[in-house]
Amino acid sequence: MNTSNKISNKRATDPFDQLIFEYKLRAQQLTIYKDLDMMIVVFNNGKLIKLRISDYPNLKKAGKKQLNDWELIGGGVGIRWKDLDEDLSIKGFIKTAALNNAIRNLQGHGNDERIVA
């Protein structure tokens, strides 16, 4: 029986982890628009995602000054709001954006699109 605690380099199977750990996706900038309930994360590959502040309860309750007092952590794999005691990962941001996009597409928003299983 092998009881070695040796860690081996394995490829990530989770596509979100692949983006972050294999393709080195990192947050580069965050822009917050409290009055529009919007924050935009800009990544090091030039892509961006738009998220609703209200999707994050601690951020929703915060004021403009607190929201704008953020810092990148882990070399850009997360964002910290020290005064709010809130740390959020880009993995979570990407998942939230993907889920919200899928829900909007499924709802159709007036489009006469059909879903075929």
CATH number of the domain bearing residue 88: 3.30.2020.40
The alpha-helical segments, DSSP class H, found in the chain are 15-17, 57-60, 64-67, 90-107
State yes or no: pLDDT of 65 exceeds 60: yes
| Rounded average pLDDT over 93-114 | 80
pLDDT for the residue 105: 87
In a domain, 1, yes or no: no
> Distance between terminal CA atoms of the chain?
46
pLDDT for the residue 23: 93
Q: Lowest mean pLDDT: which of 2-16, 20-34, 51-65?
A: 2-16
In a domain, 99, yes or no: yes
Mean pLDDT for all residues in the chain:
89
State yes or no: pLDDT of 86 exceeds 60: yes
State yes or no: pLDDT of 5 exceeds 90: no
pLDDT for the residue 1: 55
In a domain, 32, yes or no: yes
In a domain, 115, yes or no: no
In a domain, 3, yes or no: no
Tens digits of residue pLDDT in 17-33: 999 999 999 999 999 99
Q: With CA atoms as reference, report the closest residue to 93 among 7, 4, 32, 22.
A: 32
| Rounded average pLDDT over 31-57 | 96
In a domain, 117, yes or no: no
Q: What are phi and psi of 54, to 5 degrees?
A: -65, -10
Number of compact structural domains in the chain: 1
Q: Residue 58's domain spans which residues?
A: 15-107
Give the Cβ contact number of residue 25 at 10 Å.
20
In a domain, 6, yes or no: no
